[in-house]
Amino acid sequence: MAGRDERPGNTGSRGSRLLGCVALASLVVLGVLAFFLTGPDVRLHPTTGEEFGQFDAVRMLYLHVPMAVLMYASFMLCAAASVGVLVKRTPWWDVMAHSTAEVGTVLCGLVLVTGSIWGRPVWNTWWEWGDVRLMTTLVLFLLFAGYLALRRTTTDPRRQERKAAVVALVAVLDIPLVNRSVAWWENRTLHQRSTLEELKIQDLTLFTLMFGFLTFGLVVWWLTLQRFRVGWLERAAIDHAVGSAIAERRSETSADELDAAIGVTDEQAGEASP
Amino acid sequence: MTHLGYLMAGWGISLVVLGGYAFRLVRRGRSLSALVPEDRRRWLESSGTDSD
Amino acid sequence: MSEVRRFLADARMVAARDLRIEFRSRVVVGQVVPFALLVLVLFGFALDADHHTLRTFASGLFWVAVLLSALLAVHRSAALEQSDGTMDALRMSGLPPAALFIGKATAVFVQLVLLEVVLLGGLLVLYGVQVVDPALLVVAGLLAGVAVAAAGTLYGALASGLGVRETLLPILLLPVLAPVLIGATRAFDDALGAVAVDGWAWTGLLAVAALIATVVGALAHGVLIED
């Protein structure tokens, strides 16, 4: 993924460290854009002239929406990697599926929390039963919490990579059903049909939102990269531990004992040797 | 600024959780790296989808 | 044609075996069905024995009781394969995994239908509900039963052999069944005359869920028992 690391001993490489720095810097820029350069959402009622709108609560937009989009992207990647596990059966796909699922679940939890915090001032409720996207996201979170629980049941990930792939694919297949059922169930949503139309979005607001996508894209990329390397190291550590345990057992046992153990007699051993 | 408490809570929780998760990943990577010889840390060398 | 017939014969054989074991051990009849009735009674206690409240929420309580009991039935169905090396024997037998899946799911389905019938009796007697649309009730009950049985059998096979099946199965299975719970509850709301909704539209959703669960389960079962 990147060039040789000058300081071996961790999961960083020159590329990932650069990526991390860029991600951090753009988080700072995003904060400045979101809190200081963009204006609050204040609209004037056309007849009464009263002020209305989301006011400063709109600044949650630049956090909540990018995380939601990146969350869906992570789960889509997880589904694709799970197909890879079933088709190719190589560790790369499995580590990828596990990494994207974990990062996606963290994002999903944050999307629920930030959505709830945003909903309180704007919709006047922490939680809205029957809101399609809210309920779909909650079920998605629970589905992938189950996926991660399954993966935690053993320390050797290879034992259940295909099981986990099936769970991830079923979870992703289930999402349209959840979405449709909640839509028919209550058929109401507090979410804006399109945030961009609803809010009187100025150029800078739109730019900040796009910059939010970019920033969280970088953050998620870095997190997924790190998580992938941790997953890869977990497997390598198991392999290495098994390999060195075998080597250790070998060194404890003398050649004669080994021959005796596998049933080679002295004569056979003598004949075999040059 | 209106809704300052909500904004601080939303942004604060998100940044703390993401930061904490990143910190845990890096620390876990460090401790695992100690268990694995350098030639098995493949991103130092190459990339791609080659299998084990 | 003969292949289809052989497939069905294999599935029937597995279903008959599971049902025969159930008939002899009576775990579902003796433990799961009483548990489901107990859940209904507990709802009654929790909701203050108010006939009106119970009638309003009867369909939701019914399906929550079915799902909780289905967990036990699925658990029992998966446990059958764990004893005496049954899974290894089945793997060696050359039985197609999809036939094994259809057979086991059918056995669970039969037990779920029995459970639903008993629970419906409980609703009529204990909660005092009235059936307005019997055809809708039957179709929705059967389709939801297929969806729960198929998804349950798939996840039962998946969670078996992990050593933590009891705790893992609910958190894997219940979120997947969320749409089925919503659909079946709404269909029953209509069939019991509790809420004016289009129950047949919800039955369509249940049909889609049942179809997906069955097809995915049959395809994925080979992957799961191989590991």
The interface predicted TM-score of the complex, written ipTM, equals 0.87
Q: Is residue A86 part of a domain?
A: yes
Exposed e or buried b for every residue in B11-47, given b needs 16+ CB within 10 A?
A: bebbeeebeebbeebbebbeebbeebeeebbbbbeee
Position A10 in a domain = no
Q: What is the mean pLDDT of chain B?
A: 79
Judged on CB neighbours under 10 Å (0-12, 13-18, 19+), A256 is exposed
On whether residue A70 sits in a domain, the answer given is yes
B52 versus A270: the higher-pLDDT residue is A270
Question: Is residue A254 in some structural domain?
Answer: yes
More confident residue, B26 or B47: B26
**Predicted confidence pLDDT, tens digits, chain A (274 residues):** 444 444 445 677 788 889 999 999 999 999 999 888 887 877 777 788 787 777 788 888 899 999 999 999 999 999 999 999 999 888 899 999 999 999 999 999 999 999 999 888 888 888 877 777 888 899 999 999 999 999 888 777 777 888 899 999 999 988 888 878 777 776 556 666 555 555 555 678 888 999 999 999 999 999 999 999 999 888 888 888 888 888 887 777 666 666 666 666 555 544 544 4
Instruction: Give the end-to-end CA distance of chain B in Å, rounded to a whole number.
Output: 55
Predicted pLDDT of residue A227: 94
Contact present, B and A (at least 3 Cβ pairs less than 8 Å): yes
Interface touch B32/A234, C-beta < 8 Å: yes
Establish if A240 belongs to a structural domain: yes
Look up the domain containing A102 and give its range.
16-191+201-272
What confidence score (pLDDT) does residue C1 get? 66
Residues B7, A60: C-beta atoms closer than 8 Å: yes
Percentage of residues of chain B with pLDDT beyond 70:
73
**A63/B11 Cβ within 8 A:** yes
Question: CB distance B2–A241 less than 8 Å?
Answer: no
Q: Which of A63, A111, A117 to mutate to test the interface with B (most CBs of B within 10 A)?
A: A117
Q: Searching chain C, which residue's CA lies closest to the CA of residue A176?
A: C179
Q: Assess if residue A4 is contained within a domain.
A: no
| Residues in chain A closer than 8 A to B23 (CB atoms) | none
Q: Contact A150/C208 with Cβ under 8 angstroms? A: no
Helix, strand, coil: what percent of chain C each, to 5? Answer: 85, 0, 15
3-class secondary-structure state, position B41? coil
Q: Nearest chain A Cα to B38, which residue?
A: A8
| DSSP 8-state assignment for residue C47 | T
Tell whether A7 is covered by a domain.
no
Contact of A91 with A82, CB cutoff 8 Å: no
B44–A4 CB contact, under 8 Å: yes
Positions in chain C short of pLDDT 50: none
Would the CB atoms of A146 and C202 count as touching at under 8 Å? no
What confidence score (pLDDT) does residue A265 get?
Answer: 58
> Is residue A196 in some structural domain?
no
- Say how far apart CA A203 and CA A201 lie, in whole Å: 7
Nearest-Cα distance to chain A for C23, in Å, is 31
Domain count, chain A: 1
Q: Do B10 and A118 touch (CB under 8 A)?
A: yes
pLDDT at B52 over 50: no
Q: Which residue has the tokens 């037990």?
A: C111
Helix (H, G, I), strand (E, B) or coil at B51: coil
C165's enclosing H/E stretch is: helix C165-176
The reported pLDDT for the residue numbered A274 is 43
Q: What is the pLDDT of residue A113?
A: 94
Q: Which residues of A touch B15 (CB under 8 A)?
A: 27
Interface contact C176, partner A, CB < 8 A: yes
Q: Which residues of C touch A86 (CB under 8 A)?
A: 223
- Which pLDDT belongs to residue A218? 96
